[in-house]
A and B are shown apart, each in its own frame.
Chain A
Amino acid sequence: MPSESGYRAVCRVVRKLEHNEHYFTLWLRDATIARAVPGQFVMLQPQPQTDFSLRIPLCVHDVEDDTFAVLVRVVGQGTRRLAAVRPGDLLDVMGPLGNGFTLMAEGRALLVSGGIGYAPLRLLQRRLRPGCVTQWLHGGRTAADLFPADVLFCDEGVAARQGLVTDGLREALAASGGWDRVFACGPHAMLAACAGLCTEAGVPLEVSLEAYMACGIGVCHGCAVPAVTGGYMAVCKDGPVFNAQEVDWNE
């Protein structure tokens, strides 16, 4: 990982893209954070902060020159505060934090995402190319959860195939050609299913996990994820990217 430990900056929002009523993208300017590797995350705090509220942990979705993007799904009080942010506004940002995905110089990589799990795979796909052949399968519960990918899965919308993104993963793993690695991010049940399918197929799987998080720096032990060896790992410090085999999916 690039050594940026302890980096924190007040960043200006340079662009906001509203995708639909549930999702938006913020582009912020900071050259150091824009050096994030795929899979890393940031802790955001809209400025000025009036009342107490925790920072909002979000994956780095994309980078361009000295700017970086976060893709946001409005789910709770933190993301609702972010939804009120406008271009020109300032955010206090800690990061980049955590580890990142394994970057392959060449080979065949399968990307699988569900809903907001789309977020970290965008930068990953860009960094894997052009050395790697990539295929990106993305699923959503509703048409609002869909973003550009190679194959979309949704029970709504004409551009998507019916069914679950994990059905697509099963087919892709069975098809000839094979995959060197699968990268996935999405709801827990989807990732657990991906873990089962990849183990069966003997293909390494890396997952990016999300959890309620307070500090983001390994201090509070709030973002616990059960380890297959017993005990818990911290999403912020040991992850957010894990080998699927490290995670106890049954807990």
Chain B
Amino acid sequence: MNRLSTKLGRIELANPVTVASGTFGLESGDWYDLSRLGALVSKTITLEPRAGNQPPRLFETSGGLLNSIGLQNPGLEAFLRDELPLYAAVGPPLMVSFSAGTVDEFCRMVETMEKHEGIAGYEVNVSCPNVEREGMAFGTDAQVVYDLTRRLAALTQRELCVKLTPNVTDIVTIARAAQEGGATSLALINTLLGMAIDPETGHSRIARGVAGYSGPAIKPVAVACVWRVAQAVNIPILAMGGIAGWEDAVELIRAGACAVAVGTAAFVSPDLPVRVLDGLDAFLARKELTLAELVGTATF
């Protein structure tokens, strides 16, 4: 058995390294061999096309990045027609990240996607801080997460991964609700709420005011969330939040993750996902461990 192989709920992955939704596209394939990834994760798709938020959408802070893209995407129909065949051709299992404004709309999207081949699973994005309707309002209410997950679980035998926001009082409560609703894995964490203000003018650096905060600065938050959630649920965790090197991936795996996603730091080094993979492989070889043996080995 390959020491890197892992399982994310219902799907077998050749290795645990994937990419965080919204930080990756087929364009990334100009910079490294995408077929080496354990899985692909699309940007978040909504039923209708979304133009995205007014610029400025980005601001760099110490150790991280504020973004307010606003789920810019071509809409489900165009995604399925134009992008899905290209993603499917790459090889690794594809998780389609998607979001909607109502439970019914989430369900309609899954029903539509079920008719298409080439989708291994769904990442249910109930945690985007940068939109009103399709935003993290869903992911901050345990009852809503439970109801939504239950409805979606009845519609698919594919992997059903719910992506959680850290912007809640207790992420464990939300994680449990998703598991009870029928989620087969969890992805965490989405971005933290953040804001930066120009001291001279008083204007927010981001047109929409508050934004999502990602990058190495948020890694300790991610590690703590993964650790706490891993103690409370028995479904696999796909962890993301601040991975900038293989050591960060090891931390999140030791905290309890079965797979990891590289995000913001890949903007600096587009081939970072495969470098994390190679580093992780070398680490496991040195420790004479399989990935499965490393999961959840943090102590204190």
Contacts and interface: CB of A to CB of B under 8 A. Distances in A.
B59 interface: yes
A161 B267 CA distance: 43
Given A52-B215, A220-B69, A211 B55 contact: yes
Contacts of B55: 211-212, 223-226, 232
Contacts of A201: none
Contact of B63 (A51, A211, A215, A237): A51
A230 B51 contact: yes
Grouping DSSP codes into helix (H, G, I), strand (E, B) and loop, the B interface class, with mixed when no group exceeds half, is loop
Contacts of A230: 51
Nearest to B31: A6
A199 interface: no
Contacts of A225: 55
Interface in B207-264: 215-217, 244, 264
Interface in A1-41: 5-6, 8
B270 interface: yes
B67 interface: yes
A251 B268 CA distance: 30
Interface residues of A, number: 35
B216 A218 contact: no
Contacts, number: 99
A219 B268 contact: no
A45 B268 contact: yes
Given A212-B58, A214-B58, A232-B52, A221 B72 contact: yes
Contacts of A142: none
B31 A8 contact: yes
A222 B69 contact: yes
B24 to A, nearest CB: 6
A220 B38 CA distance: 21
A237 B27 contact: yes
Contacts of B25: 218-219
B22 A220 contact: yes
A213 interface: yes
B265 A52 contact: yes
B64 A217 contact: no
Contacts of A251: 54
Contacts of A76: 60
B122 to A, nearest CB: 21
A131 to B, nearest CB: 33
Interface in A66-121: 76-78, 94
Contact of B57 (A5, A45, A94, A221): A221
What are the 10 closest A-B residue pairs judged by CB atoms, nearest first? A6-B30, A222-B58, A212-B58, A231-B51, A219-B25, A215-B267, A214-B267, A5-B30, A52-B216, A218-B27
5 contacts: A55-B268, A94-B270, A222-B67, A224-B57, A231-B49
